[in-house]
């Protein structure tokens, strides 16, 4: 566990970067520090591994003040990932990853064996090990950065905007893999980002910081969306809060309707017979591929002819996905699949809305409706 | 050509002396410039003094330095040590800025990551900063090497034996061939120094030769 105890950081010239910050990052959880530039989130992160020392207050790592631990020794026990990965250009991927084990005094052979293991873990198989960082894409470099931080198996990881320098598609991949990895490893992670959507997606807890380094609110993402504590937090979280909160509520058993389907290669005549209304779902091996309008086709169905706009929701998955499936399907029938991606049936938007109506919201903490803020 | 074949042994001997008088100071100067350049790169206050101050050393005329050296350190006028020390000073004059620039060229995020991995400052300097500084450092070293080879020849005026002898001797005897041989030998020596540094830098930076993704 990491505990900030009334931490203040003033820089030369008197500007206050972090103002009386107190919070806890729980063991095994991802705590995201999020806020606009100048809110002191990176400064706060760097105080944990003593890259910066606080002006007053202290930070405790499992109840031991970090100020009492020699910086180099402290840092070898804490994984660190930064925006552009910061890989050593003069070392191969393997030796980059082996850095901390080598610093900790492991033999070269043992450190390299371990480096191979962690590279495997982040999805970079053997032949990447001998390359230099300049030979990798941004996303791959970032994976190596994560592998390097994990190599000595630290219980704590600090991550400073690790995914913000890669393109959106790669970012989403990296985020998903990061969550999968964290489910396996259960590290105590402090994660800094300026992107509230990333914070909400990744955080077990999200700490919203204001300019000047004050903690505005620390809560679980669903709670944050439901009960932002003040205008700053609600503005920062942004629009569509009600809709985004649905991502944290699982759908109940919908009364799924059977959906007639055809396979690729079906002739126009057969397709017209298969459906009574304008749209027909095309599947391959039971998995939805897309929608088609039988009235408009003149040749057997090909993959390129399919309408791909409809999203697919997993059964009992988030309500947001179910509602989106219904709203995005050209037929207005949301496609619901099982865990293997096979079609179970469809659900309509009004049915999802009824489920939303019935779903419970996070109860507000009485402390959050106190009449006035303490000065 | 007959001058070369008649004096081949002497030319090689003087070339080796010349290489020693230019090469040893290059090495010593680099050793001294590393900590000084490091200090200049780290301290915003000291940087102008160290970089400009060391650069000014280069403006001291070499002949004056060769003659003054015995007065300062108490050596004999014919002691090659005078030349070694004077050439080391010229090397420092050229290299402090190079070292400082080379270290400044190490990407900030790489340096930050190294610190966060748990490198102590000294270990980080040797394992991360220095290897990454090699390309810029080598460029500075090449200039210093060629400059050393050229300046050393002046030392023949104070009687220190090396290739410069052919220039002064040829001038006194108004013997153009001898001067030509002296010049060519100096150029060849400078090229050898230059090539050696280029090759060494190549060996030290395999990561610079891979094709970027």
**Long-range contacts of the stretch A234-238 (C-beta < 8 A, 24+):** A236/A34, A236/A35, A236/A36, A236/A196, A236/A208, A237/A196, A237/A200, A237/A208, A238/A196
B210 in a structural domain: no
CA distance A132 to chain B (A): 6
Neighbours of A204 (CB within 10 A): 15
Q: A261 vs A196, A276, A281, A318, CA distance in Å?
A: 40, 12, 5, 25
Half-sphere exposure at residue A267, Cβ-oriented, CA atoms within 13 angstroms? 2
In a domain, B45, yes or no: yes
Q: Sheet holding A188-193: strands in order across?
A: A78-81, A156-160, A188-193, A30-34, A205-210, A214-219
Q: What is the pLDDT of residue B198?
A: 95
Query: Does the ipTM exceed 0.95?
Result: no
Domain contains B186:
yes
- Domain boundaries in chain A? 2-248, 261-358
* Nearest residue to B54 (alpha-carbon basis) of B131, B120, B140, B118: B140
Q: Which residue has the tokens 């005094």?
A: A105
Confidence of residue A371 (pLDDT cuts 50, 70, 90): low
Q: How far is B116 from chain A (nearest CA, A)?
A: 6
Q: Please state, in angstroms and rounded to a whole number, the distance separating the CA atoms of residues A219 and A23.
A: 11
Give the CA dihedral A219, A225, A229, A234, nearest 10 degrees. 130
B113, B132, B205: residue with CB nearest A86 = B113
User: Quick one: pLDDT at residue A375?
Assistant: 46
> Between chains, do B118 and A91 touch, taking CB under 8 Å as contact?
no
Side-chain-side CA neighbours of residue B192 (13 Å)? 14
Distance of residue B206 Cα from the nearest chain A Cα, in angstroms:
8
Name beta bridge partners: A215.
A209
- DSSP letters, A38-83, are TSSHHHHHHHHTTSS--SEEEEEETTEEGGGS-HHHHHHTEEEE-T
For residues A335 and A282, the answer to whether their CB atoms sit within 8 Å is no
Answer whether B118 sits within 8 Å of A76, measured CB to CB.
yes
Closest-CA distance, A46 to chain B, in angstroms, reads 9
Tokens found for residue A40: 């002191």
Distance CA A338, CA A344 (A): 6
Inspect the interface and report whether the beta carbons of A89 and B205 lie closer than 8 Å.
no
Does A50 reach chain B within 8 Å, measured CB to CB?
no
Name the nearest CA neighbour of A268 among A247, A228, A297, A305: A297
Give the one of B116, B128, B205 whose C-beta lies nearest to A75's C-beta. B116
Could you tell me if residue B54 is inside a domain?
yes
Give the B window 119-178 contacts with A, CB below 8 Å. 119-120, 123, 128, 131-132
Cα of B90 vs its chain's centroid, Å: 8
Q: In chain B, what's the furthest Cα-to-Cα distance?
A: 67
CATH, range A2-248: 3.40.50.300
Counted domains in chain B:
1
Residue pair A166/A174 in contact by the 8 Å Cβ criterion: yes
Give the distance, in angstroms, between the CA of residue A233 and the centroid of all CA atoms in the same chain: 20
Q: CB-based contact (8 Å) between A132 and chain B?
A: yes
Cβ atoms of residues A182 and A155 within 8 Å: no
Q: Is A80 in Cβ contact with B116 (below 8 Å)?
A: yes
Using the 8-state DSSP alphabet, how is residue A2 labeled? Answer: E
| B151 in Cβ contact with B186 (< 8 Å) | no
**Is there a shared CATH topology between the A2-248 domain and the A261-358 domain?**
no
Give the 3-state secondary structure of A264-321. Answer: CCCCHHHHHHHCCCCCEEEEECCEEEEEECHHHCCCCCCHHHCECCCCEEECCCEHHH
B207 in reach of chain A (CB within 8 A):
yes
CB B165, CB B181: distance < 8 Å: no
The Cα A337–Cα A261 span in angstroms is: 14
Chain-centre distance of CA B93, in angstroms?
Answer: 9
**Residue reference for tokens 């660190």:** A80
Mark yes or no for CB contact B213/A99 under 8 Å: no
Contacts of B202 in chain A (CB under 8 A): none
- Fold classification of A261-358 is CBS-domain (3.10.580)
How many CB pairs below 8 A link A and B?
75
pLDDT band for position A90 (50/70/90)? very high
Chain A residues whose beta carbon lies within 8 Å of the beta carbon of residue B112: 51, 82, 86
DSSP A89-137: TTS-HHHHHTHHHHHTT--HHHHHHHHHHHHHHTT--GGGTTS-GGGS-
Instruction: State which residues of chain B have pLDDT below 70.
Output: 1, 211-213
User: Any idea what the CATH number is for the domain that residue B68 is in?
Assistant: 1.10.3720.10
Per DSSP bridges, beta strands A287-292 and A312-314 are unpaired
Instruction: Give the chain B residue nearest A104 (alpha carbons).
Output: B118
pLDDT 10s digits, B110-138: 999 999 999 998 899 999 999 999 999 99
Give the mean model confidence (pLDDT) for residues A201-208: 95
| b/e burial code for range A291-316 (CB count within 10 A of at least 16 → b) | bbbbeebeeebeeeebeeebbbbbbe
Are residues B109 and A86, on separate chains, in Cβ contact within 8 Å? yes
State the Cα–Cα distance between residues A17 and A33, nearest whole angstrom: 14
Q: Which residue of A has its CA nearest to B123?
A: A103
In angstroms, what separates the C-alpha of B35 from chain A's closest C-alpha? Answer: 22
The span from the CA of B191 to the CA of A37, in Å, is: 53
* CA dihedral of residues A231, A237, A239, A240 (deg, nearest 10): -120
Contact criterion met (CB below 8 Å) for A86 and A145? yes
Segment A7-39, tens digit of pLDDT: 999 998 888 999 999 999 999 999 999 999 889
**Cβ separation A100–B114 shorter than 8 A:** no
Q: What's the pLDDT tens digit per position in A260-305?
A: 888 988 888 888 888 768 899 999 998 999 999 888 888 888 888 8
Structure tokens, B72 = 């300062």
CB A6 within 8 A of CB A168: no
Which among A102, A131, A129, A130 has a CA at the least distance from the CA of A117? A129
User: In angstroms, what CA-CA distances link B138 with A265, B145, B211?
Assistant: 66, 10, 21
Mark which residues 20-49 of A lie under 8 Å from B by CB: 49
Distance CA A79, CA A191 (A): 11
Residue B211 lies in a domain: no
What are the angstrom distances between the C-alpha of A245 and each of A215, A223, A319? 22, 8, 9
Measured in degrees and rounded to the nearest 5, phi and psi for residue A41 equal -70, -45
Residue A248 pLDDT grade (very low, low, confident, very high; cuts 50, 70, 90): confident
Tell me, yes or no, whether B213 lies in a domain.
no
Which one, of B107, B98, B128, lies nearest residue B36 by Cα?
B98
Q: Among A147, A10, A135, which Cα is nearest to A79's?
A: A147
Average pLDDT along chain A: 90
**Model confidence at A119: pLDDT above 60:** yes
Instruction: Report phi then psi at A189, rounded to 5.
Output: -120, 130
- B193: in domain: yes
Residue B175 placed within a domain = yes
Domain that holds residue B197: 2-205
Report CB contact under 8 Å: B117, A75. Answer: yes
């Amino acid at each position: 566990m990491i505990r900030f105890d009334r931490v203040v950081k003033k820089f030369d010239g008197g500007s206050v970067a972090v103002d009386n910050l107190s919070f806890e990052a729980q063991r095994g959880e991802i705590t995201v520090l999020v806020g606009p530039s100048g809110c002191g989130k990176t400064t706060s992160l760097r105080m944990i591994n003593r890259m910066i020392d606080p002006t007053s207050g202290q930070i405790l790592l499992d109840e031991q003040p970090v100020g009492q631990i020699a910086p180099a020794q402290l840092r070898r026990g804490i994984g660190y990932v930064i925006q552009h990965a910061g890989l050593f250009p003069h070392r191969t991927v393997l030796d980059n990853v082996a850095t901390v084990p080598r610093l900790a005094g492991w033999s070269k052979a043992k450190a390299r064996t371990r480096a191979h293991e962690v590279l495997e873990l982040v999805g970079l198989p053997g032949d990447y090990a001998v390359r230099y960082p300049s030979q990798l894409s941004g996303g791959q470099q970032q994976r190596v950065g994560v592998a390097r931080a994990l190599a000595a198996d630290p219980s704590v990881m600090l991550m400073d905007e690790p995914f913000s320098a890669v393109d959106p598609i790669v970012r989403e991949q990296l985020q998903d893999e990061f969550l999968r990895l964290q489910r396996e490893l259960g590290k105590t992670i402090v994660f800094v980002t300026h992107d509230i959507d990333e914070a909400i997606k990744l955080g077990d807890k999200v700490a919203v910081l204001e300019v000047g380094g004050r903690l505005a609110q620390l809560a679980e993402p669903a709670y944050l969306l439901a009960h932002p504590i003040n205008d700053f937090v609600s503005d920062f979280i942004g629009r569509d809060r009600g809709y985004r909160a649905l991502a944290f509520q699982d759908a109940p058993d919908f009364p799924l309707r059977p959906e007639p389907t055809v396979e690729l290669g079906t002739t126009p005549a057969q397709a017209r017979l298969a459906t009574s209304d304008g749209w027909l779902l095309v599947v391959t091996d039971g998995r939805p591929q897309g929608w088609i309008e039988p009235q408009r086709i003149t040749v057997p169905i090909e993959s390129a002819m399919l309408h791909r706009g409809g999203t697919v929701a997993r059964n009992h998955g988030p309500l947001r996905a179910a509602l989106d499936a219904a709203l995005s399907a050209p037929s207005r029938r949301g496609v619901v699949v099982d865990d293997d991606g096979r079609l179970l049936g469809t659900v309509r938007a009004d049915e999802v809305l009824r489920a939303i109506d019935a779903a419970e919201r996070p109860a507000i903490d009485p402390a959050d409706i106190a009449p006035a803020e303490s000065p | 050509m007959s001058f070369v074949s008649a004096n081949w042994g002497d030319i090689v001997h003087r070339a080796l002396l010349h290489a020693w008088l230019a090469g040893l100071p290059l090495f010593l100067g680099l050793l001294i410039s590393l900590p000084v350049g490091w200090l200049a790169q780290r301290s915003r206050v000291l940087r102008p003094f160290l970089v400009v101050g060391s650069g000014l050393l280069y403006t001291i005329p070499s002949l004056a330095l060769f003659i003054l050296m015995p007065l300062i350190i108490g050596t004999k006028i014919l002691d090659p040590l005078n030349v070694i020390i004077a050439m080391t000073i010229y090397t420092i004059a050229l290299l402090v800025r190079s070292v400082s620039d080379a270290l400044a060229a190490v990407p900030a995020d790489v340096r930050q990551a190294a610190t966060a991995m748990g490198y102590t400052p000294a270990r980080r300097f040797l394992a991360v900063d220095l290897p990454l500084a090699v390309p810029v450092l080598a460029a500075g070293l090449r200039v210093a090497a060629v400059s050393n080879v050229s300046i050393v020849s002046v030392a023949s005026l104070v009687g220190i034996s090396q290739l410069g002898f052919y220039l002064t001797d040829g001038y006194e005897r108004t013997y153009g061939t001898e001067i030509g041989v002296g010049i060519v030998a100096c150029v060849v020596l400078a090229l050898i120094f230059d090539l050696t540094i280029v090759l060494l830098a190549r060996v030290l930076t395999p990561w610079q030769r891979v094709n970027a993704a």
